[in-house]
Amino acid sequence: MATQLATFAGGCFWCMVTPFDKMRGVHSVISGYTGGDTPNPTYEEVCSESTGHVEAIQIEFDPAIISYEELLEKYWQQIDPTDAEGQFHDKGHSYRTFIFYHSEEQKQEAERSKQRLQESGIFSKPIVTEIVPAKEFYPAEEYHQDYYKKNPMRYKMYRKGSGRDEFIKKHWSVKKDDSELKARLTPIQYEVTQRNATEPPFRNEFWDHTEEGIYVDIVSGEPLFSSKDKFDAHCGWPSFTKPLEDDHVLEELDVTHGMIRTEVRSKFGDSHLGHVFEDGPQPTGLRYCINSASLEFIPKAKLVERGYAKYLKLFE
């Protein structure tokens, strides 16, 4: 099946690339400008609010692997769809939210998705994101492409300072009852996930675990890592080269204990998982150093039974 395009505007395009870039079935995510009439606009021209364009991303995806509906669901979870003036601390037309549809089918799916979000009660204000026909899309300057990879520290500081991550956490995180968590989790699981503790190396459940399956958040159940990406880093904690492609893992700047590190947290459970370091093997060169206490293991044989059937293809 041929690939298709999805085009979304959600404020700063740096922040809109990362949620989609790691999703299964996504071939590429390009930052650019669309919606206006000025041909080949520059970043400065778009920011001047004189072109009619907005910052946007264009996604090339394989509909046989990931549906447009799934992309829409991911899109809503990245933005404030109730803000008609822009996004977070970026205000102006060029930072407004739009869904640019490429077919009548996409238009209808977007409208249904928007209606479901409005009826969900997640937001008390009206959903103001507009659904409009796609227009010519102009890729942004090269330095804007994959900005989060080229300037990771500045990107993380920008996201944190913009208020986007705080907003996402407030509206989409699992609502947690502290007393229920204390009753359900072991003491070390609670301390790690809720108080950012670190378990002892070599004395934890999964540091040398090799069975095929996936690892999910012990609090929310959201899928995090695959045994396919696990390796022995000789550090005493479970280590992975990358998260699962559905990208339920958030990376945040951590300046505690007199160090500058990148903390890893689950997106919806908001559980502390561990940290990621740039000393891992290829192909990513990364080492996601994760506490066993933050994880539950789902073996391959139980993926269907536990509701994770779509991950079976990882082990075929």
State pLDDT tens for residues 133-154.
999 999 999 999 999 999 988 9
**DSSP strands (E only) in 90-210:** 90-91, 97-101, 130-133, 138-139
User: Which stretches of 75-178 are assigned E, i.e. beta strand?
Assistant: 86-87, 90-91, 97-101, 130-133, 138-139
Q: Which strands form 97-101's sheet, in the order they lie side by side?
A: 130-133, 97-101, 4-10, 54-61, 26-34, 138-139
Quote the CA–CA distance of 115 and 257 in Å, as a whole number.
46
Q: Would you say 290 and 192 are in contact if contact means Cβ atoms under 8 Å apart? A: no
Low-confidence ranges of the chain (pLDDT < 50): none
| pLDDT computed for residue 1 by the predictor | 65
Q: For residue 200, is the peptide bond before it cis, meaning its omega torsion is within 30 degrees of 0?
A: no
- Contact (CB, 8 A) for 140 and 237: no
Architecture of the domain spanning 175-315: Beta Complex (2.170)
Token pair belonging to 199: 């378990």
CATH fold of the domain at 4-168? Peptide Methionine Sulfoxide Reductase; Chain A (3.30.1060)
* pLDDT of amino acid 247: 67
Q: Return residue ranges of the chain for CATH 2.170.150.20.
A: 175-315
Place of tokens 């298709």: 4
- Location of each CATH 3.30.1060.10 domain in the chain: 4-168
pLDDT of residue 56: 98
Distances from the Cα of 35 to the Cα of 15, 23, 40, 169, angstroms: 19, 25, 12, 29
Q: What is the pLDDT of residue 90?
A: 95
Q: Kindly list the catalytic residues.
A: 12, 289
**pLDDT recorded at residue 172:** 86
pTM score: 0.72
Tens of pLDDT along 177-213?
899 999 999 999 999 999 999 999 999 999 999 999 9
Half-sphere exposure of 71 (CA within 13 A, CB side): 33
